[in-house]
């Protein structure tokens, strides 16, 4: 190891973090209220502190210093001196080693001990007490890295148009840890995403993007560790710049870069699920790991009338103070880093409504939204929000600014209820099938703004949605207090697995019908990884802490006949969506455009083939619906599709609406192995709990 200087040079206040210039390393960190910040340098093992040097300069509340001859690979941390006055929002404690918020790579994990807390755990004075134990032995180290080692050569973002996008939500570890064709060292890591056999699965399915659950370094929570559980999902970020170390098969950042490079070469985009609404330091009684120790009062939102307590609009104990310019800068720097260093194609913002909160509440013109929309790099990427949090006025579906797509939970609930056979679902389902214009058609927004899904990581899998009427979260050891109680699910006769052929048949029918509804709706469809091969979580609808067979995709189950059939069926749905632009319109339709006499761009019909009467929409016991859509296809004519839905328990005949078109059957979810392209003329029989898709093409020369 190169000898460490006995003091730092002045260095520069920018860029933040640790920056190597070939001659040494510049360190810069923000703190508005610290009196002194020290850089702690460790030996190559990370165990022994070899130097503790004060950052010599503070410019515009940025502390900085330069360490000559330091090189990439150097391990370091910070200690911050300042007031320990919880009643005023200050929680400085120099006995606690702090992780650099801008660390690009970290070594080691948090090892739980009471020394990690700034106060004496168990003290009668609670967080007003002060703990003098050194936390360094229990803390990970930041590692100095070099950003520009990887050559992207001719990497080109796929830039899939929104209207053609199909998202595959997946967990890096959960989706690959049991994949038999991937070598063991790569399973559960970024390297598995680069494996040609995994990419082949994505190609066979036909998705255009993978959306990865959090891959930024996250904390293994103490309460989970004490119960023998783990933070599997990763929604408790420790560092906004560093990838989760467990996902780096060889410890190198290149493994993620290689994975994204290969996915791009295969035409598949990569979207990251990111958590900027809170950090892993929890509430005021949480540990001191990074931001809390550097400047608690600046990085977090405090209760105005009691700064000792934190605003908890996230339900996770703390809320990042995004209106603060330096905190906003940190988030924007993080997003740009992932976009430029790793070439990611978009972001899904966890509790996105929280990021739009100003002092007055949610604001579509918040500083964060404005900064993101004007950014020359980030504004061109796919931006998706989870449009809610748990604070006042926290449900903001449809209220985000243009340029954003939003998770549409109303789509999920309506589709599940319709196919469960609930009454009175036809009017809402009609809106959901056409991109939820009642929610999103304003400010120039398009149907793609609706991220449609019937399952996601949070909730039941598709198999469980037809196998369980109640959640079964006993393994989480929270006395079933976690997870949603209402899932709009049904078990169709038996709670859990069944070998009854009749029950299996109806479950498979409902699964196929829900997937067909999803993929034949306007908007952006999102599939949950493993649904195509029958993945189950055994009724657990909040498996955030289950890093085991509960959440790992069972690739052996893909060999079961019914799961192979489901895989082929799902791929067929995606093929049809690609082939027929009327199934994925990029405009909201209102039936005002007449393409041929009697053929408008959209029309609703009853089973008798006539236009749906106003009074029929409100017949609560009717479980059928017919939707015809049509659009012009450049130079080739008109593409028309007719979707016939029957959620009832009995077969139903649908008379085809006028005008007569050369209809052919492309898909019948009740007979998935039957050959397609059957010509039809007057009446179509739709089996119970099934969907039939018809299509007609009118050649441009005949117009």
Query: What domains, with CATH codes, occur in the chain?
Result: 1-154+281-315 (2.60.40.10), 594-698 (2.60.40.1180)
pTM as predicted? 0.97
Q: What is the mean pLDDT of residues 469-489?
A: 93
> Does the pLDDT value for residue 703 go beyond 60?
no
Residue 582 CA: distances (Å) to CA of 642, 682, 694: 10, 22, 12
Q: Which long-range contacts (CB under 8 A, 24 or more apart) does 149-155 make?
A: 149/254, 150/253, 150/254, 150/257, 152/257, 152/261, 152/343, 155/261, 155/264, 155/265, 155/343
> Is 82 in contact with 32 (CB distance < 8 Å)?
no
Pairing of strands 382-385, 62-68: unpaired
Q: Position of tokens 């949090």?
A: 389
Q: What is the mean pLDDT of residues 656-668?
A: 95
β-partners of residue 36 are 81
> Is 543 in contact with 550 (CB distance < 8 Å)?
yes
Instruction: Kindly report, residue by residue over 452-474, the tens digit of the pLDDT.
Output: 999 999 999 999 999 999 999 99
Report residue 507 as tokens: 């479950």
> Is 65 in contact with 10 (CB distance < 8 Å)?
yes
> Does the pLDDT value for residue 529 go beyond 70?
yes
Q: Which value, in Å, is the radius of gyration of the alpha carbons in the chain? A: 27
> Does the pLDDT value for residue 417 go beyond 50?
yes
Residue 532 bears catalytic tag: no
Instruction: Kindly report, residue by residue over 171-201, the tens digit of the pLDDT.
Output: 999 999 999 999 999 999 999 999 999 999 9
> Is 85 in contact with 307 (CB distance < 8 Å)?
no
Main-chain phi, psi angles of 87, to 5 degrees: -65, -20
Return the pLDDT at 444. Answer: 96
> Is 141 in contact with 98 (CB distance < 8 Å)?
no
Write the DSSP assignment of 367-390 as a string of letters: HHHHHHHH-TTGGGSEEEE--B-S
Point out the catalytic residue in the list 100, 169, 186, 386.
Answer: 386
> Is 651 in contact with 692 (CB distance < 8 Å)?
no
Point out the catalytic residue in the list 38, 100, 295, 350.
Answer: 350
Q: Name residues whose C-beta falls within 8 Å of residue 683's C-beta, 6 or more positions apart in sequence.
A: 653, 654, 655, 656
3-state helix, strand, coil in the chain (%, to 5): 25, 25, 50
Q: Give CA–CA dist 535/553, Å, rounded.
A: 6
Q: Give CA–CA dist 495/572, Å, rounded.
A: 30
Instruction: Kindly report, residue by residue over 113-141, the tens digit of the pLDDT.
Output: 999 999 999 999 999 999 999 999 999 99
Q: Give CA–CA dist 134/93, Å, rounded.
A: 10
Greatest C-alpha distance within the chain: 89
Main-chain phi, psi angles of 161, to 5 degrees: -60, 145
> Is 639 in contact with 695 (CB distance < 8 Å)?
yes
Instruction: Kindly report, residue by residue over 199-211, the tens digit of the pLDDT.
Output: 999 999 999 999 9
> Is 42 in contact with 50 (CB distance < 8 Å)?
yes
Return the pLDDT at 2. Answer: 64
Residue 395 CA: distances (Å) to CA of 387, 391, 407, 422: 6, 9, 12, 24
Instruction: Kindly report, residue by residue over 257-310, the tens digit of the pLDDT.
Output: 999 999 999 999 999 999 999 999 999 999 999 999 999 999 999 999 999 999
Return the pLDDT at 679. Answer: 76
Q: What is the mean pLDDT of residues 401-430?
A: 97
β-partners of residue 302 are 310
Residue 85 bears catalytic tag: no
Using a pLDDT cut of 90, give the percent of the chain over it: 93
Instruction: Kindly report, residue by residue over 210-238, the tens digit of the pLDDT.
Output: 999 999 999 999 999 999 999 999 999 99
- Residue 402 or 618, more confident: 402
> Is 346 in contact with 404 (CB distance < 8 Å)?
no
> Does the pLDDT value for residue 328 go beyond 90?
yes
Main-chain phi, psi angles of 385, to 5 degrees: -115, 140
Q: How many CA atoms lie within 13 A of 97 on its CB side?
A: 24
| Element of type H or E holding 357 | strand 357-358
Q: What is the mean pLDDT of residues 407-425?
A: 97
> Is 292 in contact with 312 (CB distance < 8 Å)?
no
Nearest to 211 by CA among 246, 277, 160, 166: 166
End-to-end CA distance of the chain: 79
Mean pLDDT, the chain, rounded, equals 96
Burial class for 383, CB neighbours closer than 10 Å (0-12, 13-18, 19+): buried
Report residue 1 as tokens: 């190891």
Q: Name residues whose C-beta falls within 8 Å of residue 325's C-beta, 6 or more positions apart in sequence.
A: none
β-partners of residue 153 are none
Using a pLDDT cut of 70, give the percent of the chain over it: 98
Write the DSSP assignment of 74-117 as a string of letters: -EEEEEEE--EEGGGTEE--TTS-B--TT-S-EES-----GGGS
Q: What is the mean pLDDT of residues 380-393?
A: 97
Return the pLDDT at 147. Answer: 75
Report residue 323 as tokens: 């209106």
- Cα dihedral across residues 440, 446, 451, 454: positive or negative: positive
């Amino acid at each position: 190891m190169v000898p460490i200087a006995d003091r730092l040079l002045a260095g520069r206040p920018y860029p933040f973090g640790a920056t190597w210039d070939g001659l040494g390393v510049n360190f810069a960190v923000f703190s508005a209220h610290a009196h002194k910040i020290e850089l702690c340098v460790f030996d190559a093992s990370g165990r022994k502190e070899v130097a503790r040097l004060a950052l010599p300069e503070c410019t515009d509340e940025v502390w900085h210093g330069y360490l000559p001859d330091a090189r990439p690979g150097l391990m370091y941390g910070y200690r911050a001196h300042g007031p320990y006055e919880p009643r005023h929002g200050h929680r400085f404690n120099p006995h606690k080693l702090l992780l650099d918020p801008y660390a690009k790579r970290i070594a080691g994990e948090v090892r739980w001990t009471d020394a990690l807390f700034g106060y004496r755990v168990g003290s009668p004075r609670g967080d007003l007490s002060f703990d003098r134990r050194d936390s360094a032995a229990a803390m990970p180290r930041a590692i100095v890295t070099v950003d520009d080692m990887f050559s992207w050569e001719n990497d080109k973002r796929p830039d899939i148009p929104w209207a053609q996008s199909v998202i595959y939500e997946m967990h890096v570890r959960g989706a690959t840890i049991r994949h038999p064709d991937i070598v063991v060292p790569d399973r559960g890591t970024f390297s598995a995403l680069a494996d040609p056999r995994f990419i082949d699965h994505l190609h066979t399915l036909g998705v255009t993007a993978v959306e990865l659950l959090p891959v930024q370094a996250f904390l293994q929570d103490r309460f989970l560790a004490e119960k023998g559980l783990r933070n599997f999902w990763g929604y408790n970020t420790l560092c906004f710049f560093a990838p989760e170390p467990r996902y780096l098969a060889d410890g190198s950042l290149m493994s993620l870069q290689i994975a994204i490079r290969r996915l791009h070469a295969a035409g598949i985009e990569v979207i990251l699920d990111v958590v900027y609404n809170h950090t892993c330091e929890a509430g005021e009684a949480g540990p001191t790991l990074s931001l809390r120790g550097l400047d608690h009062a600046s990085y977090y939102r405090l209760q105005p009338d009691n700064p000792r307590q934190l605003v908890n609009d996230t339900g996770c104990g703390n809320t990042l103070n995004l209106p603060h310019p330096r905190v906003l800068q940190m988030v924007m720097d993080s997003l740009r880093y992932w976009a430029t260093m790793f070439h990611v194609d978009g972001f899904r913002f966890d509790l996105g409504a929280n990021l739009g909160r100003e002092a007055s509440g949610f604001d579509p013109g918040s500083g964060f939204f404005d900064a993101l929309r004007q950014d020359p790099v980030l504004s061109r990427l796919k931006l998706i929000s989870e449009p809610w949090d748990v604070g006042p006025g926290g449900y903001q579906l449809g209220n985000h600014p243009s340029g954003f797509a939003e998770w549409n939970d109303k789509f999920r609930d309506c589709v599940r209820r319709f196919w469960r056979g609930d009454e009175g679902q036809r009017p809402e389902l009609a809106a959901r099938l056409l991109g939820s214009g009642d929610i999103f058609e304003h400010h120039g927004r398009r149907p793609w703004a609706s991220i449609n899904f019937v399952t996601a990581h949070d909730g039941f899998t598709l198999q469980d949605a037809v196998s369980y009427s109640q959640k079964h979260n006993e393994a989480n050891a929270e006395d079933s207090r976690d997870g949603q109680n209402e899932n709009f699910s049904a078990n169709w006769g038996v709670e859990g697995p069944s070998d009854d052929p009749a029950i299996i048949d109806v479950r498979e029918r409902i699964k196929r019908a829900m997937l067909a509804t999803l993929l034949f709706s306007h908007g952006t469809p999102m599939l949950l990884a493993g649904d195509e091969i029958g993945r189950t979580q055994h009724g657990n609808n909040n498996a955030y802490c289950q890093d085991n067979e509960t959440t790992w995709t069972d690739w052996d189950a893909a060999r079961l006949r019914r799961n192979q059939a489901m895989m082929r069926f799902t791929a067929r749905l995606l093929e049809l969506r690609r082939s027929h632009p009327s199934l994925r319109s990029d405009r909201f339709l209102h039936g005002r455009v007449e393409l041929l006499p009697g053929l408008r761009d959209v029309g609703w019909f009853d089973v008798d083939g006539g236009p749906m009467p106003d009074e029929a929409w409100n017949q609560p016991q009717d479980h059928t619906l017919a939707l015809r859509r049509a659009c012009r296809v450049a130079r080739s004519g008109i593409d028309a599709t007719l979707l016939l839905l029957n959620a009832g328990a009995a077969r139903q005949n649908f008379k085809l609406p006028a005008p007569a078109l050369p209809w052919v059957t492309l898909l019948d979810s009740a007979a998935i192995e039957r050959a397609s392209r059957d010509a039809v003329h007057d009446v179509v029989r739709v089996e119970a709990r099934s969907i039939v898709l018809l299509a007609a093409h009118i050649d441009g020369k005949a117009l």
